[in-house]
Structure 1
Amino acid sequence: MSVEDELKELRRELRYVTDRLAILDCVMKQSRGHDRHDIELMASVYHNDGVDEHGPVVKLGPDYGEYANQAHSSVFVDHLHNITTHTCEIDGDEAHCESYVIGAMRSRDGKTVHIFGGRYLDRVERRDGVWRIALRRCTLEWTMNGDTSLLSSGSFTGFIKGTWDKNDPSYARPLDLEKTPVKKW
């Protein structure tokens, strides 16, 4: 292989790796925004004309965050969306992704956690050099419930408790043990 061919191949591989990381970051930022109720972060991962379909609710992606925050906070006190298996097929400026998601959502009663398993099926597009979601379709594969009364038993006293706003310690820059205020169990 000539040096020129080798450089061409390296550029192609670097483009692929850079695109994959940008796409994965996009998917992860949406989940982080979801769990921190950060509307700006959630909106930033959708194109202005992007669409999010969660069951019967179909919203323009940038508007999904406000709807989701209201819907979640009406029945849950906290939640975590975990992205697990993630596959992605890139074809130029368009990519099709499948991301498995496990959502754990604690009810307002403080005693029950609802766990959901599903997938995000995304068409992600690079526009003006930025990868964002053009279409997200959410599947639901299974659910189960569990008891969370252990959280209020005192067993976790002193552990940090996340918040649904930018006061969550994950936003602290720099993260500092002494200077970063936290809410605790």
Structure 2
Amino acid sequence: METENENAINQLLDRQAIHDCLVRYSRGVDRLDRELLLSVYHPDAIDDHGMFVGGPEEFADWVIPMHTSMHLSQQHVLMNHSCELDGSSAHAETYYMFVGMNRQGPPVSISGGRYVDRFEKRDGRWAIAHRVCVRDWILTDEAVDPDDPAAYTAVKGGLPAELAMLMASATPSTRDRTDASYARPLVISNERLEAADRA
């Protein structure tokens, strides 16, 4: 039987493995490192990034060319982090700040939000099973519509209508218990997956 100390140590190891996975995500996406990026997800994971909803391979195919074409460099900085362990699953909320050196338009884009994740431990490995990227703010000279998640992203203008609709229906940031960070278990809805297929 596991002692209280052994249990505490195992929980600390689990928390560290989850945090290491989150840091690998930032490094992978900022270095445009496909292999490193894929290492943070289980193969059947779903990532809802607002204007993208799909699996890890498709996400890498979308996010790496997007950042390559839009930015000279970028950083996804991780900040506040909470993690609730529940056996072989965990729910985490991690604040991020994004800064990108733009190829066109304003020299710099700055925005912030949260990664809301359901992690699962499979065969001794913690990785993301479901992720929702919630956008909370963006540095801008214009007032934004608080009910439009698309207003909080640096990717603007020229979006096909279907993609703009997908982004507009993304999970909003709320300041109450309807926020995605309270969902247990966190699951990407079939409606979002179907909307992504149409886009």
- Separation in 2, partners of 1:121, 1:59: 15
Indicate conservation of the 8 Å contact 1:46/1:62, yes or no: no
Q: Which residue of structure 2 aligns with residue 14 of structure 1?
A: 9
Is 1:91 the counterpart of 2:86 in the alignment? yes
Indicate conservation of the 8 Å contact 2:79/2:94, yes or no: yes
Indicate conservation of the 8 Å contact 2:70/2:104, yes or no: no
TM (norm. structure 1) is 0.72
Superposed, 1:133-144 pairs within 5 Å as 133-144=128-139
| Higher share of residues assigned strand | 1
Indicate conservation of the 8 Å contact 1:124/1:135, yes or no: yes
- Separation in 2, partners of 1:19, 1:88: 10
Superposed, 1:101-112 pairs within 5 Å as 101-109=96-104, 112=107
Superposed, 1:36-75 pairs within 5 Å as 36-75=31-70
TM (norm. structure 2) is 0.67
Identity of aligned residues (%): 40
Larger of the two Rg values belongs to structure: 1
2:93 counterpart letter in structure 1: E
CA RMSD after TM alignment: 1.8
Shift of 1:59: 1.7
1:75 counterpart letter in structure 2: M
Q: Which residue of structure 1 aligns with residue 25 of structure 2?
A: 30
Q: Which residue of structure 2 aligns with residue 162 of structure 1?
A: none
- Separation in 2, partners of 1:62, 1:17: 30
Indicate conservation of the 8 Å contact 1:51/1:59, yes or no: yes
| Structure 1, unaligned runs of 5 or more | 147-185
Deviation by residue 1:94-127 (Cα, 9 ceiling, x = unmatched): 0000000000011104861110110000000000
Name the SS for the 1:125 alignment partner: strand
- Separation in 1, partners of 2:58, 2:101: 24
2:41 counterpart letter in structure 1: Y
- Separation in 2, partners of 1:85, 1:123: 16
Q: Which residue of structure 2 aligns with residue 117 of structure 1?
A: 112
1:46 counterpart letter in structure 2: Y
- Separation in 2, partners of 1:109, 1:95: 39
Deviation by residue 1:19-64 (Cα, 9 ceiling, x = unmatched): 0000000111011100000000000110000111111310202431
Indicate conservation of the 8 Å contact 1:50/1:62, yes or no: no
Aligned length: 141
Return structure 1 stretches of 4+ with deviation > 4 angstroms. Answer: none
